Amino acid sequence: MEHLYSYHKRHGITAESIRFQYKYRKVLYLVGEKDTKDFALDKSTSAMRQGSNRLERLKVYFNYLKHYYGKAITKYQSIAVVSNVGHSGKALMHSKEGRRFILGF
């Protein structure tokens, strides 16, 4: 967010306003319980510090959000670990958790 586009500047959107608004966005972070393989995973040193797989990285990221924004963020944002699913966007979106969040049922 160090280099916002001219569109953002023209409309008074700042990095600070984006950070503030993000706290109140309704977000569900979906991840498969079996998303523990390294398929197309960034394995750089800095990436591996975030976790050795996507499941770990999501948990680390969400814990960071709770640290950064405070536990109140859990009023708007949450994690759903979908059973028996690996790295599959389709399976996540079709899961009970995904449908409930997207469609409301």
The pLDDT, as a whole number, for residue 4 is 80
Rounded CA-CA distance 19/40 in Å is: 29
Rg of the chain over Cα atoms, rounded to whole angstroms, equals: 16
The pLDDT, as a whole number, for residue 97 is 97
Percent helix / strand / coil, the chain, rounded to 5: 50, 10, 40
The pLDDT, as a whole number, for residue 3 is 77
Distances in Å between the Cα of 10 and the Cα atoms of 4, 13, 20, 103 are 10, 8, 19, 34
Tell me the pLDDT tens digit for each residue of 75-89: 999 999 999 999 999
Q: Could you identify the residue written with the tokens 């979106």?
A: 93
Residues in the chain where the model's pLDDT stays below 70:
none
Where in 8-76 does DSSP place strands (E)?
Answer: 27-32
The pLDDT, as a whole number, for residue 66 is 97
The pLDDT, as a whole number, for residue 1 is 77
